[in-house]
Amino acid sequence: MKSENRIWTVRDVLEWTVNYLAEKGLPFPRQDVEYLLSYVLKTTRLKLYMLLDRPMSRSELNLFKQLVKRRVKREPLQYITGVAYLWKYEFLVDRGVFIPRRETETLIEVAGKNLKGKEAFIADVGTGTGCILLSLLKDNPKLRGVGTDISKKAAELFLKNRARLRLTDRAFIAVSDCLSCFPEEPMFDAVVSNPPYVKSDEIPKLQDEISLYEPREALDGGRDGLSFIRRLVREAPAYVKEGGFVAIEVGEGQAEAVKFLMKQAGLQKIEIHRDLSHIERVVVGWKL
């Protein structure tokens, strides 16, 4: 995008940049450009198409160029725009904290159904932005809960998301290794978690957006991907009340192994739930 004196309309910029990003090998260039332009013009992707003939100001163009440079280096869109959408809600995200993924909606849906209408206290282990816990609490006004995360940065973001969703009186955060900050007694009606579950040697093979930018401790599940889950399944039941449950998001092909681990840990009525892509995604075990 050169020629200092030329007037660039939104349409010109859109078309030029879609081609540019395609040349750079970005897989979804139009989607990227629509999000980045909407961000710069403080509008939505839908409304962007009503602004096509609007000339862009010099400062808008400068900001847009900076964002495109970051995207070309494969920085995830959500880190560039600072937000991610999950379930029915918008969450602030930032470098150093895991970006919420669509597949996690299966855990929110399954846990939400089990908790519907109940007055319950729940824990979300490895809460990150808080997307699971805050969605559950927002949907069900009788729930209270606490998120734990080893990452201080995640805890800071959790607090911002909690305030934006007006859940300050019901949602809490602890910077903690797994559940170790709590006394080991049955205090929760449910423990939910989307833990790190990628095999260590698969991380460098993931797309650059993940391997270069997302925090390793949010991804790394050790040699077989199950290190953290093994520990969580072993430890969580002691914190769950009778009649409560443990619900864990798992990676593709891990569900049967996690079901076995839950049985070993004394959990019962174990269920496996599939996500929208029909992948076995969530394992639930009950303490009866």
Ligand X SMILES: C[S@@+](CC[C@H](N)C(=O)[O-])C[C@H]1O[C@@H](n2cnc3c(N)ncnc32)[C@H](O)[C@@H]1O
For the annotated catalytic residues, the residue numbers are: 98, 194-195
CA angle 88/94/100 to nearest 5° reads 35
3-state helix, strand, coil in the chain (%, to 5): 45, 20, 35
What is the C-alpha to C-alpha distance for residues 27 and 106, in angstroms, rounded to an integer?
26
Q: In the complex, which residues of this chain contact ligand X (CB under 6 A)?
A: 98, 100, 104, 125-129, 131-132, 148-151, 154, 177-178, 194-196, 217-218
Inter-residue contact 133 to 124 (CB < 8 Å): yes
> Do 71 and 26 meet the contact criterion of CB atoms below 8 Å apart?
yes
Tally of helices (H runs) and strands (E runs) in the chain: 12, 9
| CB closer to ligand X out of 177 and 184 | 177
Place of tokens 């050169």: 2
In terms of DSSP H, where are the helices of 174-287?
208-211, 216-219, 227-235, 255-264
> Hey, which residues does 55 pair with through a beta bridge?
9
3-state secondary structure of 196: coil
Complex with ligand X: residue 41 or 143, whichever CB lies closer: 143
* Shortest distance in whole angstroms from residue 193 CB to ligand X: 7
Evaluate whether 66 touches 105 at the Cβ level (below 8 Å). Answer: no
Residue with Cβ nearer ligand X (24 or 88): 88
Nearer to ligand X among residue 174 and residue 272 (C-beta):
174
- Cα-to-chain-centroid distance, residue 71: 19
CB of 187 to ligand X, least distance (A): 17
Beta-bridge partners for 122: 145, 190
**CB of 26 or CB of 157, closer to ligand X:** 157
Contact 228, 241 (CB under 8 A): no
The C-alpha atoms of residue 107 and residue 166 are separated, in whole angstroms, by: 22
- Rounded to the nearest 10°, the torsion over CA 277, 279, 282, 283 is 150
Q: Please state the closest distance from residue 32 (CB atom) to ligand X, in A.
A: 21
State the minimum distance, in angstroms, from the CB of residue 149 to ligand X: 5
- Least CB distance to ligand X at residue 234 (A): 13
Shortest distance in whole angstroms from residue 89 CB to ligand X: 12
Considering beta carbons, is residue 114 or 129 the nearer one to ligand X? 129
